[in-house]
Amino acid sequence: MGARLLCLCLLTALLGYYIYSPLPEELAQPWTVMLTSAALRALGHLSEAAELLGLMHYMEGLRLITVVELVAPTSDENVTVTDTELSGVPIRLFLPRRAPGGLRRAVVFFHGGGWCLGDAGMHGYDLVSRRISNELNAVVVSVNYRLAPPHHFPAQFEDVYSVTKFFLQSKVLSQYGVDPARVCVAGDSAGGNLAAAVAQQLLEDPEVKTKLKAQVLIYPALQALDLDLPSYRDNAEKPLLPRSLMVRFWSEYFTSDPALREAMASNRHVPAEAGHLLPLVNWSRWLPAEMRKAHAYAGPAAGGAELARRYPGLLDPRAAPLLAREPRLRRLPRTFILTCEHDVLRDDGAMYAGRLRHAGVPVTHLHAKDAFHGAVTFLAWPLELAVGHRLLSACVDWLRENL
């Protein structure tokens, strides 16, 4: 009996040690965040073990997150929801039921998940799209692009670009009763990356006549040149996106070759020949002082040219929108950017806001000091957070005024 009690106490202590992680005092609902982070960390460790044993790829294990969150396309009294295709790409379509009173707004939405995970049918994304559609009386096209692995860049970009370009055709907009002057692209995390890249590429496409009215970028990933920004240092071990996982997402976007992942982890993946691009992501210039803090700037150490030659997406603005030059940036539509203090991607969004402002683009930058990566999709039990509802409301309110 005594031995059993001792074992129980030890197991309880180990479980508590595993679940507990120190969190900043200002972080909203820390225990919910801590429990969620522990569950994701456990799944990550199991996925690592399965990969080492040759049972499955690491990302296949993590996709359990997607599977358990999937919900069927269910219509309600406000919105008709269907799974269909546009331009041969799967989408989840949200059509408001109430009378439009004229032509409607439209939002083309790209989910997050590091280009490797996620689905428009996940509960959180379904709720985000449903709420945008209902509150703004807007058509929402939520895109299920291909994922890595096995599909690497530019497959994800090609899918979302194909859907957006198809949707922007006059006959398609007319079919859904959409005002061509009130179309927006939006996305979170990797989806924010894709939204920014699509908005830029549309400017260069002579076949596209309809111009975007706005873009909404929710804690977007925007560059892979420097993975030692202050936000990567400050939040290297924070939930729910530690630096190691973000490095894995970036490397898997381009390839499953571990050589790139190892080079990125040490921030030695940029060839000396790409040095002319570093001023575009120089955080000592583009970050506000409160985000620079006491950090000293040191650009990434020069790596060999071989990785960049094999994986040119590293230096492609379609994969890293922060690498776009100012002449392209100044033609972009009005922009809403949400960043979170406790997020490795904080500085990507903040730098993009700074560069867009410098280029003369109207920018609204909302920085949530009590939030973390992924907060906007924490909308329903057991992962419901008040901060998620608050931040989504801010996005919807901005769209109501600007779209």
**Domain residue spans in the chain?**
27-34+72-99+115-402
Q: What is the pLDDT of residue 387?
A: 92
SS (H, E, C) the chain: CHHHHHHHHHHHHHHHHHHCCCCCCCCCCHHHHHHHHHHHHHHHHHHHHHHHCCCCCHHHHHCHHHHHHECCCCCCCCEEEEEEEECCEEEEEEEECCCCCCCEEEEEEECCCCCCCCCCCEHHHHHHHHHHHHHHCEEEEEECCCCCCCCCCCHHHHHHHHHHHHHCCHHHHHHCCEEEEEEEEEEECHHHHHHHHHHHHHHCCCCCCCCCCEEEEECCCCCCCCCCCHHHHHCCCCCCCCHHHHHHHHHHHHCCCHHHHHHHHCCCCEEHHHHHHHHHHCHHHHCCHHHHCCCCCCCCCEECHHHHHHCHHHHCCCCCHHHCCHHHHCCCCEEEEEEEEECCCHHHHHHHHHHHHHCCCCEEEEEEEEEECCHHHCCCCCCCCHHHHHHHHHHHHHHHHHC
Of 176-180, 299-303, 366-370, which range is least confident? 299-303
- Name the pLDDT band for 149 (thresholds 50, 70, 90): very high
What's the whole-number average pLDDT of the chain?
93
Bridge partner list, 196? none
Give the residue numbers annotated as catalytic, written as ranges: 189, 343, 373
| pLDDT value at 197 more than 70 | yes
pLDDT confidence bin for 381, thresholds 50/70/90: low
Find tokens 């280029």 and name the residue.
Answer: 359
CA–CA gap between residue 218 and residue 305 (Å, rounded): 32
In whole angstroms, give the CA distance from residue 89 to residue 81. 17
Quick one: pLDDT at residue 5?
55
Convert the pLDDT of each residue in 199-221 to its tens digit.
Answer: 999 999 999 999 999 999 999 99
Neighbours of 389 (CB within 10 A): 16
Q: How confident is the model at residue 37 (pLDDT cuts 50, 70, 90)?
A: confident
Determine contact, residues 147/153, Cβ cutoff 8 Å.
Answer: no
**102-131 pLDDT per residue, tens:** 999 999 999 999 999 999 999 999 999 999
Residue from 207, 250, 316, 216 nearest 113 by CA: 250
What's the pLDDT band for 235 if we cut at 50, 70, 90?
Answer: very high
Separation between Cα atoms, residue 226 and residue 238, nearest integer Å:
19
> What six digits make up the tokens of 330?
């100044």
Q: Residues 66-88: what's their mean pLDDT? A: 97
The residue behind tokens 């925007």 is 222
Please report where in the chains the tokens 């002082």 appear, as a residue.
Answer: 289
- Give the count of beta carbons closer than 10 Å to the beta carbon of residue 123: 15
Q: What is the pLDDT of residue 30?
A: 80
Residue 9: predicted pLDDT? 46
d(CA 403, CA 398): 8
pLDDT at 198: 98
Q: 2 pLDDT exceeds 70?
A: no
What phi and psi, each to the nearest 5 degrees, are found at residue 356? -65, -45
The CATH code belonging to domain 27-34+72-99+115-402 is: 3.40.50.1820
Would you say the C-alpha torsion 333, 336, 342, 343 has a positive or negative sign? negative
Query: Looking at residue 3, what is its pLDDT?
Result: 63
pTM: 0.95
- C-alpha distances (whole Å) from 48 to each of 238, 259, 346 are 19, 17, 27
Residue 4 has a pLDDT of 62
The 10 Å CB-count burial string (b at 16+, else e) for 72-100 is eeeeeeebebeeeebbebbbbbbbbeeee
pLDDT tens track for 15-35: 544 556 677 777 777 877 878
Number of Cβ within 10 Å of residue 12's Cβ equals 10
pLDDT at 25: 73
Show Cβ contacts of residue 176 under 8 Å, excluding neighbours closer than 6 positions: 95, 104, 106, 139
Q: Tens digit of pLDDT for each residue in 317-346?
A: 999 999 999 999 999 999 999 999 999 999
User: Can you give the pLDDT at residue 132?
Assistant: 98
Residue 166 clears pLDDT 90, i.e. is over it = yes
Measured in residues, the chain has a length of 403
Highest mean pLDDT among 3-7, 115-119, 296-300: 115-119
Give the pLDDT band (50/70/90) at residue 99: confident
Q: Considering Cα of 94, then 99, then 101, then 102, what sign does the dihedral take?
A: positive
Separation between Cα atoms, residue 79 and residue 224, nearest integer Å: 38
